[in-house]
Structure 1
Amino acid sequence: MRASFSTYRLIALVFSLAVLLGGCEEQEIGRAAMPKSWANFLETRGVGEEAVLPDFSFAGYHYSERPIPEVDGPAFLVRDFGAIPDDGKLDLMAVQGAIDAASKAGGGVVLFEGGRYLMNSEGGIEKRLRLAASNVVLKGMGSGLEGTELYWPRHLEPEVPGKMYSTPFMIEVSPKSTQEKTLTKLIGRAKKGQFEIRVADASKLSVGDWITLRLSDPKAIKLFFGGRTPRKEWERSWTQGVQVAERHQVVAIDGQAVRFKEPLQVDVEDAHDWTLCSYPALEEVGLEGMRLTGDWKGDFVHHRSALDDGGWSALYLKNVRNGWIRDVEFKNWNYALKMSACSAFSVFRTRLTGTPGHHGVQARGGYGVLVGLSSDQAGHFHGPSVGYQSASTVYWRYDYGSKSSFDAHSTFPYATLLDACSGGWRYGRSGGPMAGMPNHMRGLVVWNFKRTGGKEPKFDFWRSGEFDDRDLFLEPVFVGFHGVETEFNLENMGLVESLGKRVDPLSLFEAQLMERTGGVPGFLVEELERWNAESKK
């Protein structure tokens, strides 16, 4: 049953009060109005019509339907493997030993005491922690000054000498193999927002399986670009075709009909070469309660060197689903957190501090990554980032520096929500190769964003000949964009509503989640209250 307008307004009031506790401006909230795009979402939900707004509620650990677990065992204390905090001795191999023991046991929590752990004493390419097993949690005593600190005083070198993007991360989490297998082809059509597809052969599928819905077909250009034509220098569109790698979980099979847990974020046409592939991934992996500290102290210059762009790279997760990062500070890194092909993943209460560098947080590929209640206080060159076929990525109540900007890193990201966020907005910060342009396909929704920096008075997101032809977003939707006065070229926008004034609901993600689940998830309220309390310290 869909909530009525009056029911929703009552629920929204609860969250409005919680936001007020966080120090938001009461008068501005009081002036908020309900936009037509939200009314359209409520009216079309469940009746088979496509809404203006994608459904972003399927994001986060188990799609925000259950809280992140408090895992307490079996416990593997790093002290028992030789890692003693504050003794000035190298702890890397001892910590790796605890991780390996938990992995071999089928899972567990790797526990750190309070204090500093020394994670390297020299650079190189192999001096890193690795986790390649499910059901393992790395847990410290908190990210505060009295909590747990993992400290790397030396940067790493590129795996390929001179190659800019080959420097490894200090911590890498991924399965031993991420190789996919083709399972079947799609037949028939399906519309964005629907949950069901038809396949040629469902014999290799089972309820509970996770799959990758793949497309790489130049014939799909018209489907995805509509009346717009990709430029000739956008080579990937013309040679490899528009690329999709949308992750889904199978919840029902009836003959050739396959139903997913999550809605499709793309239209499927049987004229194109769609396939279903396997999706190997780790599950129930977490990292929480610690401060990851590097020693990046340089004056960052974009693409000057491998050291600038990634010599100090902290945490990389690849092919992880139903996992989380919580209560973690990333200090003095030039690449803090990269998530590739991760799905149903939560990042809560994280802070990026210290020296600004290349990337803060980036989500590539995957479905339903939720980065919320977090801040980039360092002000990295690229702000909250998506790219490379990411879908249903949500940045929720994420604040970053006024000198930074949102980054869509090209190669067909789509269905991204920036929700009740704040930070700078400027040209020149969305990266990626020219061959992979545009920076973002349809489905970029910017909701109640507060612009705090940037000198540009007007933006055109489909221009040419300026700023190295970056920041190209296909018909984005901006609702409640406020702060620094801003104009947009409306001819190249999907929709602009309430420019200069916030709207109700204050958070689109919260509102859509309430609409889907029928109430306010208590654990989200608790996370919000904790974040507000911590932010006041």
Structure 2
Amino acid sequence: MNRQTIIICCSIFISSINLIGQEIPKIIGSQQKLVTNYLPDFSYAGYHFGESKIPESQGKIVNATDYGVKANDGLDDSKALLKAIKACNEIEGNVVLQLPAGRIILSDILYIERSNFVLRGAGSGETGTEIYCPRPMMYFKDPESLAELREYLNTFDKRQREPENNVDLPFSQYAWSGGIIWTQVPKERVKSYLDKYEPKSNPLAKVSSGTMGEHIITVSDIKGLKVGDIVELQLFNKDGENGEIIKDLYKGANVKPGSHHWKFPMLPIVRQQVEIIKIAGTKITIKTPLTISIKPSYQAQLVEWKHLNEVGIEHLRFTFPDIPRIAHHVEPGNNAIFLTRLFNSWVKDVTITNADSGILAEEIANVTIQDIVTNGDHMAHYTVTLGGVHNVLVKNLKIYNKAVHPLSFNTFATKNVYQDCEIFVDPLLDQHSGANHQNLFDNITVHITPDKNSSYALFGGGGADYWKPSHAPYSTFWNLNILVSNPDKISKPVLLYGMKDGPFARIIGVNGNCKFDVKYEPDAYIEFLNIPIDKVPSLYDYQLKKRLK
């Protein structure tokens, strides 16, 4: 007989469940389309929607050594690397820029601004390629693409104020942006900060309806769209604080949306990068399912989305000096990789030591980031973070260093997946506000040390109040493996807590080397507590296999 203990504390608070003989969680049964136990399909995340493996890229190989890059000579290689990049940009077709083994010194930003390009090292290990960055980006020339961000930070006097630590310092432009390796489409705005720079709308089609979880949208005024196009679907709130889209986005949850949900009517509050797979009159079929149903009041539209394709960064490591950490948001810019404007691209086999942020991302879709290690003594802001991105898969990320936000879904992130990741020190599963929704923590392992009350704040809700709540409905945690440092000394279930404003989360399969309770507010769906999901260890793999079958 199944037994289930439920403790109600403002939210669903479920203690141990003993479900003898049950093979798979009920939420992946036949009724998952119902609002009460809706479970998004996360299987479209990653390179080519998860349907293709990251390629061993072929093409013309350009050796960086031919342009003056010389490893292990103690001299700066920036100018030589920039020459090599320029040479690659003049070659048509697939290009691989091959870096030599050994230490390469870099003190300038390498911009990747073309498709069909791979930056490849000789490996991420000790005998591979090391990119050593002796000084942070704060000493570089200010990037043109961050001019709007700099103006925003100055206009609104964004500062880190910690009177108790004698800190009153302006935010750094590199706190959540920028990287030594930086993908971009030249002259394209990546992130909105100021209304005056919002472009005039030029829709390729107006969208009047569509159903959450489905693939067909109703359109009008089509302009030049064709099957195979990759475009951006944008939904707006132009009806103020009581806008219908705010109510629909949060599904009537007991949360209070912040002012940014209505103060910027020109800014799309929900967006997806989508591939057009069929056009039939007023009906368009898109490859990936909608994250929210569309109504006429949302003034939804399809617009051009400029991006790069088939870009890879692989087989190398980054090392930064272990400089003193001053304060949150004033990081000087020891950031390894900044991914913007990418589709069907990848980063793999990369180790990052002593970074402020390892890999940052904005405005990318269907990118796979896998086999990443972050380590070092330096306290990081982010390791690999996902903000303003769609269908990104982060797989096999190992985090050995302390970080403010070890795993983080940030503003506007939708349908992204952290899979098979492991956090070895001070773990936190962060959802960073900003209308992010329907993201998945999948088969994650964390190492924790509970406090004296046998509790641990595992679930984080970062971000500014004006973008609260921490996430919208259907964020999902699947098969969380919790390893307690001293299980023999634990006499009662460890309470995992921390989230107070994350509505309708799905928490399935919290288990580990002792017993756990979960407190997650409000209205979480919790199943398979203290039971490993042996039959379905990865929701992403399960859904992908089911879809492709």
Asked if 2 retains the 8 angstrom alpha-carbon contact of 1:184 and 1:200, the reply is no
Change (3 A) 1:238 1:487: farther
Of 192, 197, 206, 2:226 maps to 206
Can you list the C-alpha shifts for 1:309-354, whole angstroms capped at 9, x where unaligned? xx31111011101000011101110111001111110011111111
Please state which structure has a larger fraction of its residues in helix. 1
Change in Cα spacing, 1:278 to 1:314, as seen in structure 2 (3 Å) is same
TM-score (norm 1): 0.81
1:382 is paired with a residue of what secondary structure? strand
- The aligned counterpart of 1:76 is 62
Partner of 2:261: 237
Q: Which amino acid aligns with 1:248?
A: V
Are 2:278 and 1:268 aligned? Answer: no
Tell me, yes or no, if structure 1 residue 178 matches structure 2 residue 188: yes
Q: Deviations over 1:281-334 (max 9, x none)?
A: 11100000101111134357434x333xxx311110111010000111011101
Paired residue secondary structure (2:355): coil
Q: Is the 8 A contact 1:285 1:324 kept in 2?
A: yes
Three-state SS of the structure 2 residue aligned to 1:358 is: strand
Residue 361 of structure 1 corresponds to which residue in structure 2? 384
Alpha carbons 2:331, 2:356 under 8 Å: kept = no
Give 2:248's match in structure 1, choosing from 207, 213, 223: 223
Are the equivalent residues in 2 in contact too, given 1:177–1:280 (CA < 8 A)?
Answer: no
Moved more, 223-232 or 392-401: 223-232
Q: 1:514 to 1:51 in 2, by over 3 A?
A: farther
Q: Normalising by the residue count of structure 2, what TM-score does the alignment of the two structures yield?
A: 0.79
Matches within 5 A, 1:149-160: 149-157=130-138, 159=142
Give 1:6's aligned residue. none
Aligned with 2:504 (options 469, 472, 475): 475
* 1:56 match: secondary structure: coil
Structure 2 unpaired stretches of 5+:
1-17, 143-149, 155-168, 190-198, 449-455, 486-492
Q: Kindly report which structure 2 residues correspond to 1:406-421, keeping only aligned pairs within 5 A, or say none.
A: 406-421=429-444
CA–CA distance in 2 between the matches of 1:339 and 1:347? Answer: 11
Q: Distance in 1 between matches of 2:48 and 2:384?
A: 20
Amino acid corresponding to residue 23 of structure 2 in structure 1: A
Rate the CA distance shift 1:460–1:110 in 2: closer, same or farther, 3 A. closer
- Displacement of 1:428 after TM fit? 8.0
SS of the aligned residue for 1:514 comes to helix
Partner residue in 2 for 1:404: 427
1:164 aligns with 2:171: yes
- What SS is found at the alignment partner of 1:214? strand
Distance 1:190 1:213, change over 3 A: same
Residues 166, 273 of structure 1: alpha-carbon distance in 2 compared, 3 angstrom cutoff? same
Q: Per-residue deviation at 1:76?
A: 0.9
Corresponding letter in the other structure for 1:348: Q
Contact preservation (8 Å) 1:331, 1:354 = yes
Out of 108, 114, 117, the residue aligned to residue 133 of structure 1 is 114
AA aligned to 1:502 is P
Asked whether the equivalents of residues 195 and 263 of structure 1 are also in contact (C-alpha less than 8 Å), the reply is yes
User: In the aligned structure 2, how far is the partner of 1:433 from the partner of 1:479?
Assistant: 28
Contact 1:182 1:275 in 2 (8 A): no
Give the corresponding residue for 1:385: 408
Equivalent residue, structure 2, for 1:142: 123
Structure 1 residue aligned with 2:96, among 109, 114, 119? 109
Q: For residue 22 of structure 1, what is the aligned residue in structure 2?
A: none
Query: Quick check: 1:334 aligned with 2:360?
Result: no
Give 1:189's match in structure 2, choosing from 198, 205, 209: 209
* DSSP-derived class of the 2:499 partner: coil
Residues 1:436 and 1:49: Cα distance change in structure 2 (over 3 Å): closer
Q: What CA distance in whole angstroms lies between the structure 2 residues aligned with 1:364 and 1:333?
A: 18
* Structure 2 partner of 1:372: 395
Alpha-carbon shift at residue 50 of structure 1 (Å): 9.9
Look up the match of 2:163.
none
Q: 1:388 to 1:453 in 2, by over 3 A?
A: farther
Report the AA paired with residue 178 of structure 1.
E
Please name the residue that 1:34 is paired with.
24
SS at match of 1:344: strand
Q: CA deviation at 1:516?
A: 1.0
- 264-273 or 208-217, which deviates more: 264-273
Query: 2: CA distance between counterparts of 1:101 and 1:359?
Result: 33
CA distance in 2, matches of 1:85, 1:378: 27
> Where do 5+ consecutive residues of structure 1 fail to align?
1-27, 121-126, 463-471, 519-537
Query: Aligned equivalents of 1:142 and 1:32: distance in 2?
Result: 44
The equivalent residue for 1:99 is 85
CA distance in 2, matches of 1:431, 1:104: 43
C-alpha change, 1:182 and 1:388, in structure 2 (3 Å) is: farther
Separation (CA, whole Å) in 1 of partners of 2:460 and 2:407:
10
The equivalent of 1:437 in structure 2 is 468
Residue in 1 that maps onto 2:279: 253
Give the structure with the larger strand fraction: 2
After superposition, the CA RMSD in angstroms is: 2.7
C-alpha distance in 1, partners of 2:60/2:225?
A: 33
**CA offset at residue 59 of structure 1?**
1.1
TM-superposition CA deviations, 1:404-446 (whole Å, max 9, x none): 3012121111110110011256268432211011111112100
Report the AA paired with residue 474 of structure 2.
Answer: G
C-alpha distance in 2 between matches for 1:488 and 1:450:
13
Describe the shift of the 1:187–1:109 C-alpha distance in structure 2 as closer, same or farther (beyond 3 A): closer
In 2, are the aligned partners of 1:419 and 1:447 still within 8 Å (CA)?
Answer: yes
8 Å CA contact 1:352, 1:375 repeated in 2 = yes
SS across alignment from 2:421: strand
1:85 maps to what in 2?
Answer: 71
Counterpart check, 1:492 vs 2:522: yes
> Is 1:403–1:453's contact at 8 Å kept on the other side of the alignment?
no
The answer as to whether partners of 1:178 and 1:281 remain within 8 angstroms in 2 is: no
The sequence identity of aligned pairs, in percent, is 24
2:481 corresponds to: 450
